[in-house]
Structure 1
Amino acid sequence: MTIARLLLARQRVVILDEATAHLDNTSEAAVQEALTEALEGRTAIVIAHRLSTVRAADLILVAEAGRIVERGTHEELLSAGGRYAELYRTQFARQSGETMAA
C-alpha cells in the first residue's frame, strides 16, 4: 500500500528502501514489473540486498562498511569480478544451479 501511495504522488525522485525484501519470489516479480512501468521517466534510488531488485538499474553502487566499493551496470559489475559478482554468484548460482565464470 505504501508503494502505491508513493507512486500515485508522481514524485520525480523516489527512494525505495528494501521495497521487496519480505515478498516471495512470485510477488517480488509482480512488484518489480509494476515498479519498472511506474518509475519510467523518474529517478529512483533503490536500497536493496536482493540483487534481483537492481539488475536493470542504469547505475548500481555497491556499498561495504560505509563506502562505495564498486559502481557500474549489472553487466559491468559482473565482468569486473569484484564484490557484486561474488554476491550475485552467492544469491543466484544456488537458486538456478548455474555456474558463472567471473
Structure 2
Amino acid sequence: MKLLTLQQKYVQRINKSGFFSAIADETTDISGNEQFSICARYVDTTDRQYIVREDFLCFILVKDVTGKGLASTLLTSMKDMGLNLANMRGQGYDGARAMSGRFNGCAAKAF
C-alpha cells in the first residue's frame, strides 16, 4: 500500500471534484526570500454532501515577481503537483498590482 502525502490527497480530491479555483499570495519570508502560498478552493462531494473546501497546497520560492513570472510560477507549480489546469475556473489574489493587475498581473497572464 502506497502512502500518500497530504498534498497528494488534496490534489486527488481536487481533481475528482471537477472544477476548482486557485488562491495564491506572494510574500517575503523571514529570511528575505519571496514566496508564494498556493491553495485551492473546490466543492467536495462526500457521503452525498457538498462541502466547500479550501486546502493549502504548498509554499513555492519566487524568483520573478512580475505578473508574467508569478503566473508562470503558479501554473508550473500546480501542473507539477498533478492538478488538471483545464478545470481551473477561478483565481483569487490579494489586491497587489503584480498579482491582480488587469493587463500585466498574474491574473491576466494565468488565463
Q: TM-score, normalised by structure 2?
A: 0.31
Greater strand share, structure number:
2
Of Structure 1 and Structure 2, the greater helix share is in: 1
What is the TM-score normalised by the length of structure 1?
A: 0.33
Give the structure, 1 or 2, with the largest relative contact order (CA under 8 Å, sep 6 or more): 2
